[in-house]
A and B are shown apart, each in its own frame.
Chain A
């Protein structure tokens, strides 16, 4: 037993020295930043305005008090078709990002060690899917202490949007849409509101190099979210939604709310 161990031991040392010298030969890589900019039509979103400056497609005035969503499973595709996948850790400490309108820094997601190349397309998920939730307690962006965890029907709120509209009949005219729900399987009638979105850079390329730090500027348009193919939202009915099925149609509006606005090659 002891002898086998020492043999193995020498082997491992050798292996580790070998893998170390490999480090030098690793291809060039660099960072890339995805900026998630939340807007209402042509205007930049502002939370907690004193009046209700925005209007949805139904003509209802509103303001927003909160907007936040989880971005995950980010993939970048090069012109030659090769794909870089942002690594995910099973404890949530990597690969999951919470974009919060209250926190400017959270709106810039920087991926590091991306292989050099000319990228033309991004894919990302809004939400937290079963493969992650099933791992148990999470940390980082997925720390449940961040308050985006449903404890009675376990799972994350993927996207929360709250505000005020005179059209709402809820207390103090508020509306609250908490979109979540990932537990769909063959045996249950539950819905999966996780949405994966692929957006091309509209002919532009994002050149990742050691010395280049390209930035992809994405927009989430609140009015597109309120007026999508899944549902045309009116604040006058059902303006407080906190469960997977109640938000199924809203989840259908998520994908078309995102666009790539432009790319800075930097």
Chain B
């Protein structure tokens, strides 16, 4: 009982003593952008603190998480590319083994409900388990990673600072990685400042692109997240023999060839495009929607209107849509020092 009273006194001293949060600390407070939907992450179980964030940051950049200590999360998720993989069409894991999908951007994860191209994972905490244990990524076992981290004085101290105990567990490791990724909010593009009336303007062509996008693309790339969070077949293949997409998870033929509609934020930087990284440029993507949408049973109806495949667009319209997509580029995000490699500076 005495400890309870001391604890409560402590709470009050803490709660009453400090008059607001100092500016330095707000860098590690989760802030909801006004034009975003409510966050989906379970912050009540894992509230953000600076020490947990910094632990997550160290883990993200540390190859210790992989079997042969050669590959870090950051190998496949690079900040200059909004944490997507700039180099490989299919991401390469340990021993240079090729994966079968292209690494997407990590941005605005706190607002997402489904992770991976097929939505197989439905909580951010679980995402690293797949990366760490996948033979084609880091090929390590979760329990061994925990053992490796427990052996390190540096990490034991970081866990101690973050969680009040130096005892390493998979849960704390996953919490810390989620903290780091949850804070990766990209909401400061020219588009955002324009839409929030923060003194930004769009050029006439960009504004025209925005209108075109609203009629031709926003059925799927909807809201200010630029995705409606659903799984759809956008006509890349006829059979999807290599990768059946959502059907891998739901085991339902109706979901063959459906993939998560990706956000287009920072799309200028996240090439190559699509789950298999088949397109190198936005021009190629637009050409796909205009001319090479392929028929299959699960093709999205939005891409076959009045019996005609694809989205009707002139070259001029495509160019304007691309200009508009580029207003979604957020250099403040890709240059944000909080997310950079802590081992380099």
- Which chain B residues lie closer than 8 Å to A9 at the CB level? 9, 12, 16
Instruction: Count contacts on A: residues with CB < 8 A to the other chain.
Output: 38
- Assuming A16-B4, A152-B130, A189-B252, is B171 touching A137 (CB within 8 A)? yes
- Which chain A residues lie closer than 8 Å to B141 at the CB level? 145, 147
B285 within 8 A of A: no
- Which chain B residues lie closer than 8 Å to A16 at the CB level? 1, 4-5, 8
A186 within 8 A of B: no
CA distance A136 to B255 in the complex (A): 26
Q: Mark B162-186, 1 if CB is under 8 A from A, else 0.
A: 0000000111001100100000000
Residue from B46, B174, B250 within 8 A of A189 (CB atoms) = B250
Q: Which of B1-20 contact A (CB under 8 A)?
A: 1, 4-5, 8-9, 12, 15-16
Indicate if the CB atoms of A154 and B121 lie closer than 8 Å.
yes
- Which chain A residues lie closer than 8 Å to B251 at the CB level? 189-190, 243-246
Residue from A12, A143, A151, A245 within 8 A of B126 (CB atoms) = A151
Q: Which of A9-54 contact B (CB under 8 A)?
A: 9, 12-13, 16, 20
Q: Mark A110-140, 1 if CB is under 8 A from B, else 0.
A: 0000000000000000000000011111110
- Which chain A residues lie closer than 8 Å to B116 at the CB level? 152
B216 within 8 A of A: no
A82 within 8 A of B: no
Indicate if the CB atoms of A134 and B123 lie closer than 8 Å.
yes
B122 within 8 A of A: yes
Nearest residue in B to A23 (C-beta to C-beta)? B1
A105 within 8 A of B: no
Nearest residue in B to A90 (C-beta to C-beta)? B45
Residue from B1, B8, B124, B143 within 8 A of A136 (CB atoms) = B124
A183 within 8 A of B: yes
> A134: shortest Cβ distance to chain B, in Å?
7
Q: Mark B99-137, 1 if CB is under 8 A from A, else 0.
A: 000000000000000001000111111100110011000
- Which chain A residues lie closer than 8 Å to B252 at the CB level? 189-190
Indicate if the CB atoms of B170 and A137 lie closer than 8 Å.
yes
Indicate if the CB atoms of B12 and A8 lie closer than 8 Å.
yes
- Assuming A139-B171, A147-B143, A245-B251, is B122 touching A134 (CB within 8 A)? yes
- Which chain A residues lie closer than 8 Å to B248 at the CB level? 152-153
Indicate if the CB atoms of B143 and A145 lie closer than 8 Å.
yes
- Assuming A135-B42, A144-B129, A144-B142, is B123 touching A154 (CB within 8 A)? yes
Q: Mark A168-210, 1 if CB is under 8 A from B, else 0.
A: 0000000000000001000011100000000000000000000
Residue from B8, B16, B120, B174 within 8 A of A153 (CB atoms) = B120
CA distance A189 to B317 in the complex (A): 38
Q: Mark B40-54, 1 if CB is under 8 A from A, else 0.
A: 011001100000000
Indicate if the CB atoms of B250 and A2 lie closer than 8 Å.
no
Residue from B4, B5, B15, B255 within 8 A of A5 (CB atoms) = B15
- Which chain A residues lie closer than 8 Å to B217 at the CB level? none
Nearest residue in A to B132 (C-beta to C-beta)? A151
Indicate if the CB atoms of A12 and B8 lie closer than 8 Å.
yes
A66 within 8 A of B: no
> B240: shortest Cβ distance to chain A, in Å?
17
- Which chain B residues lie closer than 8 Å to A91 at the CB level? 45, 171
Nearest residue in A to B131 (C-beta to C-beta)? A151
B254 within 8 A of A: yes
CA distance A136 to B251 in the complex (A): 24
- Which chain A residues lie closer than 8 Å to B129 at the CB level? 144, 149, 151, 154
Residue from A133, A143, A146, A246 within 8 A of B123 (CB atoms) = A133
> B334: shortest Cβ distance to chain A, in Å?
27
> A222: shortest Cβ distance to chain B, in Å?
26
B214 within 8 A of A: no
Q: Which residues of A contact B (CB under 8 A)?
A: 1-2, 5-6, 8-9, 12-13, 16, 20, 90-92, 133-139, 143-147, 149, 151-154, 183, 188-190, 243-246
- The 3 A-B residue pairs whose C-beta atoms are closest, nearest first, are A5-B16, A136-B125, A151-B130
